[in-house]
Amino acid sequence: MPHSPGIYIEENPSALPMVKEVNCSIPVFIGYTQKAGRRGKSLLRVPVKINSFKEYVSWFGDCFKPRFIVSFETAPELSDFISNHKTACIRYAPNTQLYMYRAVELFFANGGHSCYVLSTGLYGHKT
């Protein structure tokens, strides 16, 4: 027992083991990819566990390149830029916005360790 005044706490060692932290979930990214293959084997509609963004690029390819429509608007407040003294507007072409590549890229950039990727089809078949 200490010889000076104050509060002292003495803990008895517990016989119970400490709980270890374990992963209880793993994300799945589902969408279109540039390619879906590894060593000549198709990975279409097959959930594949990956551990790095480098693996994703190797097996599923690069980022989708969106297509745009340029239209010349009459109202200046709707325009994005001026070309040849005409106001113009740029918009994504319908059904040409695909986000899985960027989602997986940001997952690993923000400290993600592993995830599953399920390619539902290829970019060329989407547009």
pLDDT for the residue 54: 97
Q: Which residues in the chain land under pLDDT 70?
A: 1-2, 14-19, 21, 23, 73-79, 81-83, 125-127
| Nearest alpha carbon to residue 64 among 99, 27, 116 | 99
Averaged pLDDT score across all residues of the chain: 83
